[in-house]
Structure 1
Amino acid sequence: MIADTPQPWLATCPRALPPILAKELEALGATDLREQQAGVSFVGTRAVMYRACLWSRTATRVLMPVGDGPASDADALYETLCGLPWPELLQEGRSVAVTFHGTNSEIRNTRFGAQRSKDAIVDVYRAASLTPPKISLENPDLQIVVRLHRDRIDVALDMVGESLHRRGYRRASGDAPLKENLAAALLLRADWPRLASEGAALVDPMCGSATLLLEGAQIAADQAPALGRSSFGFMAWSGHDDEQWRAIQSEARGRAERGLAQGLPEIRGYDADPKVIRRAEENISAAGLAKWVRVSVKALGEVRKPTHIALPKGLLITNPPYGERIGRKDSLPQLYRHLGELLNREFNGWQAAILAGDREHGRSLGLRSHRQYQLFNGRLPVTLLLIDLEGNRLTDEHAGAREREAPAVAEEKANLVLSPGAEMFANRVRKNQRKLASWLKRSGNECYRLYDADIPEYAVAIDRYGEYLHVAEYKAPAQISEEAAAQRLADIRLSLPEATGTTADKIVFKQRERQRGKSQYQVRGDAGEMLSVREGNAKLLVNLHDYLDTGLFLDHRPLRLRIAAEAKGLRFLNLYCYTGSATVHAALAGARETVSVDLSNSYLAWLGQNLAHNGLAETRNHLQRADVMQWLREGDDLFDLILLDPPSFSNSRKVPGSFDVQRDHGGLLNLAMTRLAPSGVLYFSNNRRKFRLDTDVSERFAVKDITKRTLDPDFQRQPVPHQCWEFRHEAP
């Protein structure tokens, strides 16, 4: 056996991981450890180096320093490399390649630096009348690493070969894959080795290619990450001792066999995309862990804590999209908010480790993290959040405000004096609330219309959105002066808190402001504040401040719930999708696929946020920015369920001409029906008050007027807010 004496080594790793790598190396027998920006230098025997290559979960490479010296120019570089004893370092007949890093004022190109270095090494052999090593740029037996810093170089042999982060099990990966050594570092930071030894479960609700799950399984099984690798750079090093290496390999195999024989804890992963899950299954099979690591297709909103066996504790770990490479950045706060709600609801008592793209995403979780680590995924800065879910409740920034508001409401009521008109308005609002009470109790609706210009002089529409009221002013009748209209709006502002029990700060007024010139009505606002409300099984985002409309047409509630009841297993098409509330309902109900078409980037972004808010992936819920009629003409895919809810009038600069629903609905319906499957159903709705359906359309298809069945009690008033028809190719 070749003598094995301690010597210096350098293990490299991604930035921010040296503290973890240093602990690994110390456990493997290394001494004199010194952390650097992207690595750890240490002293150890050849056996320690072998174990570092085999067992380190966070290292990228292990280098053996062989010399250093001046390299102010090409000649100095050449002389320094010629002074190193290459025949004593390299096994005869092996192939090598030079990897060169860095430049200076004289050596301006790394390819030139590598070529000059290679020339020096070859010339050393020729000067000694020896056969030089073969040069192989593609697959060398050993890499020689030359690092230039200012006017000096450090030279080392790469003991590894292919980067250690490549475990060999990854057959396929999705967008922005997490490198294996970073995945292992996340698990080590989250204390997974201890949790696994105690039988804790491991769950990744957005598992992608299953990297976190496989690294977690290898840790739990006490399996060396490089155990499946057949070649290392040190095998071409003259100091390699094959007998010693095989003994260390054999020990590692024995530990892995015993680890698997003892069984692994529950390890599960989920992803909404079937293609991603298929890739994950390929990787799991390649790793030989299909018996222990299981993955399945589930949207984030469908993930539940495993309950088939007793699981007192567990670790939920995941790497959500950050937006820089994948995902819609404007949807990410809702995705993280939904993830936080899932953790709080389903995984109480567990630990969580979330790799967030930035601190703002972490805040969107709404959960307190007891520790944060700044890391890098490639070049992207990321933050690992460690969260103890035992008693960790979602933050509620409004709770304190509600407590403070109660005395204020009582004081307002005690001092309130209403005019006769304001009292009349308040009585009507209270009457409407009593009239809707039994229906609201049965339905559980938290968003509904409370008042709609019931008293013509008080021309507003009042909608409730959870704890908030949204008041939209109508144009006053011509005989009403601006002063009288302003006074009645003031009456509404004064009486509404008392009539509804809603504090003034939770009442949003959309006042239409008359402007000089044309009688225009504009709404101003750019706060971007979104309020989450519930409708059926869906959580929908509304904006009460910035737009004339809130993002949710309340009169279409019954139609959306009808679509939810019918969508399971079907392909759903939402034309003029607006903010996509019907799409969310269909997807949550189990639609096989949804496609939503709209010309507005703003509405599609809003839909993306709604999907993320419900834990639904865009991989099965496709967003198409296009003119609807052009999109219908250009495709031929068939859908089982279609919602067609066009605007009354549209005149967009993005498409030529204009759209008028009365004038153009015949051609639009004919196009839409070409995309309806033979046994499918299309729902056509619009809110044009005097709309009349063309006779030739109603004769060409099987058509039913279902308007009355799409109006809940809060909208059963005249005139009706919309008309709705059911279209089929043939009557059922």
Structure 2
Amino acid sequence: MHTIMSDKYQMFENRLAKVYKHLAKTARRQGISCFRLYDRDLPEFPLIIELYEDKVSVAEYLSSHGMDDDAYDDWLERSVQRVGNVLNAPREDIFLRTRQRKTDRQSQYEKISIEKAEIVAKEDGLNFKVNLSDYLDTGLFLDHRITRHMVREESKDKHVLNLFCYTGSFSVYAAAGGAASVTSADLSKTYLKWAEDNMELNGIYDPAKHHYVHADVLQYLDDLKINTFDLVIMDPPTFSNSKRMKDFLDIQRDHVTLINKVLMAMKKDGVLYFSNNLRRFELDEPAIEASSIKNITAQTIPFDFQGKLQRHCFRIIK
């Protein structure tokens, strides 16, 4: 039995080493220091492993592993050990996040640790505060690296709106691209503060140009003036039933209403980047009042997410 277990860990380590060699080469060539290394590649190891500079984030996904607590803890620690072997990373540089069983769909906002391991990570020459310990996500969604670059390329002199802005990484890119103004809206004060911190980290904090709106986006859309924005980013949660929201959000059911309200607030020929993570999402194109809709999912998948990404991304022109 022990040999079978050892073989299993060796298989995991071999897999990691092979993938790391391949991805690290591409990352170096592209000047990328934060990337996803492993995403539940082997069913016995339901982990997501990401590198942020010289730190390692290991997130464990819920699985019906059938182990008792002691066996599970042993499995987790031995898995982390193998990660350290491959990456030559000391244990204190590996940050482990495990998902608690919660029925609340908003559990992504729950703090999961009293530690505070924050670092500044670089992407595309910009700085971002990354938290490796306290939340289920680090604060920087690596899968939108290419989409952020697209936004930066077309932000010059534009009035930009970032809805469900999370920690404001799209806002930072837009401001760095020379946007005339950037408005970031989110229901979480924690994330809005984080978005402000990210702007400050890049020396582009300017209250006269860049605004942070604490609001339920579903209601906020009804208050927007028409023909105001040139460029909008909207990456909503798949579902949300936060107690602070008036209505609950179901992105398949509600996307037409959301998109059409956003288009009302945009100038003619304005661009909306719309994405979501619902695996079986289908865009109801005929119901959307746009002059052009392009599915850009394939173009926005980075090298470290090839074949692994379940999100959708569209470029919609008013």
Contact persistence 1:629–1:671 (CA under 8 A): no
Contact persistence 1:511–1:523 (CA under 8 A): no
1:643 deviates by 0.4
Structure scoring higher RCO (CA < 8 A, sep ≥ 6) equals 2
2:130 is matched with which residue: 542, 548, 552?
A: 542
Match of 1:450 in 2: 37
CA distance in 2 between partners of 1:614 and 1:654 (Å): 31
* One-letter amino acid matched to 1:663: R
Please state whether the residue corresponding to 2:245 is helix, strand or coil. coil
Match of 2:25 in 1: 438
Sort the Cα spacing of 1:525 and 1:635 in 2 relative to 1 into closer, same or farther, 3 A.
same
CA distance in 2 between partners of 1:527 and 1:608 (Å): 22
Higher CA-based Rg? 1
1:486 deviates by 4.2
1:684 is matched with which residue: 274, 295, 300?
A: 274
1:429 deviates by 1.0
Sort the Cα spacing of 1:679 and 1:695 in 2 relative to 1 into closer, same or farther, 3 A.
closer
1:699 deviates by 7.2
Please state whether the residue corresponding to 1:690 is helix, strand or coil. coil
* One-letter amino acid matched to 1:649: F
Q: Deviations over 1:331-363 (max 9, x none)?
A: xxxxxxxxxxxxxxxxxxxxxxxxxxxxxxxxx
CA distance in 2 between partners of 1:616 and 1:610 (Å): 9
Match of 1:276 in 2: none
CA distance in 2 between partners of 1:512 and 1:577 (Å): 23
2:10 is matched with which residue: 423, 443, 448?
A: 423
Contact persistence 1:706–1:725 (CA under 8 A): yes
CA distance in 1 between partners of 2:264 and 2:119 (Å): 38
Sort the Cα spacing of 1:486 and 1:690 in 2 relative to 1 into closer, same or farther, 3 A.
farther
Match of 1:670 in 2: 260
Please state whether the residue corresponding to 2:83 is helix, strand or coil. helix
Contact persistence 2:99–2:136 (CA under 8 A): no
* One-letter amino acid matched to 2:132: L
Q: Deviations over 1:454-509 (max 9, x none)?
A: 01110000010111110000111x3x312465443233122111111111100000
Contact persistence 1:643–1:684 (CA under 8 A): yes
CA distance in 2 between partners of 1:692 and 1:605 (Å): 33
Contact persistence 1:421–1:491 (CA under 8 A): no
Contact persistence 1:457–1:488 (CA under 8 A): no
Match of 1:497 in 2: 84
Match of 2:231 in 1: 641
Matched, 1:590 2:175: no
1:481 is matched with which residue: 46, 66, 75?
A: 66
CA distance in 2 between partners of 1:701 and 1:427 (Å): 50
CA distance in 2 between partners of 1:596 and 1:539 (Å): 18
* One-letter amino acid matched to 2:223: E
Match of 1:400 in 2: none
Matched, 1:710 2:307: no
CA distance in 2 between partners of 1:635 and 1:699 (Å): 17
1:574 is matched with which residue: 145, 162, 169?
A: 162
CA distance in 1 between partners of 2:16 and 2:256 (Å): 41
Q: Deviations over 1:193-248 (max 9, x none)?
A: xxxxxxxxxxxxxxxxxxxxxxxxxxxxxxxxxxxxxxxxxxxxxxxxxxxxxxxx
Matches for 1:189-200 after TM superposition, within 5 Å: none
CA distance in 1 between partners of 2:224 and 2:289 (Å): 25
1:692 deviates by 1.3
Contact persistence 1:537–1:588 (CA under 8 A): no
Please state whether the residue corresponding to 1:606 is helix, strand or coil. helix
| TM-score for both structures, normalised by structure 1 | 0.40
Sort the Cα spacing of 1:666 and 1:698 in 2 relative to 1 into closer, same or farther, 3 A.
closer
* One-letter amino acid matched to 1:482: M
Contact persistence 1:419–1:491 (CA under 8 A): no
* One-letter amino acid matched to 2:67: E
Contact persistence 1:448–1:554 (CA under 8 A): yes
Sort the Cα spacing of 1:441 and 1:716 in 2 relative to 1 into closer, same or farther, 3 A.
same
Contact persistence 2:165–2:184 (CA under 8 A): yes
CA distance in 2 between partners of 1:584 and 1:494 (Å): 36
* One-letter amino acid matched to 2:231: L
* One-letter amino acid matched to 1:619: A
1:543 deviates by 0.6
Aligned residues: 306
Contact persistence 1:570–1:592 (CA under 8 A): yes
Matches for 1:15-30 after TM superposition, within 5 Å: none
Matched, 1:660 2:257: no
Contact persistence 2:256–2:288 (CA under 8 A): no
* One-letter amino acid matched to 1:605: K
Matches for 1:332-411 after TM superposition, within 5 Å: none
Matches for 1:102-141 after TM superposition, within 5 Å: none
Q: Deviations over 1:90-137 (max 9, x none)?
A: xxxxxxxxxxxxxxxxxxxxxxxxxxxxxxxxxxxxxxxxxxxxxxxx
2:147 is matched with which residue: 559, 581, 591?
A: 559
Match of 1:226 in 2: none
Q: Structure 2 unaligned segments of length 5 or more: list them.
A: none
Sort the Cα spacing of 1:695 and 1:570 in 2 relative to 1 into closer, same or farther, 3 A.
closer
Please state whether the residue corresponding to 2:268 is helix, strand or coil. strand
Q: Deviations over 1:382-410 (max 9, x none)?
A: xxxxxxxxxxxxxxxxxxxxxxxxxxxxx
* One-letter amino acid matched to 2:130: V
% identical aligned pairs:
38
Sort the Cα spacing of 1:697 and 1:489 in 2 relative to 1 into closer, same or farther, 3 A.
farther
Q: Structure 1 unaligned segments of length 5 or more: list them.
A: 1-417
CA distance in 2 between partners of 1:689 and 1:455 (Å): 20
Match of 2:315 in 1: 726
Match of 2:213 in 1: 624
1:704 deviates by 0.6
Matches for 1:451-466 after TM superposition, within 5 Å: 451-466=38-53
1:527 deviates by 3.5
Please state whether the residue corresponding to 1:419 is helix, strand or coil. helix
1:696 deviates by 2.6
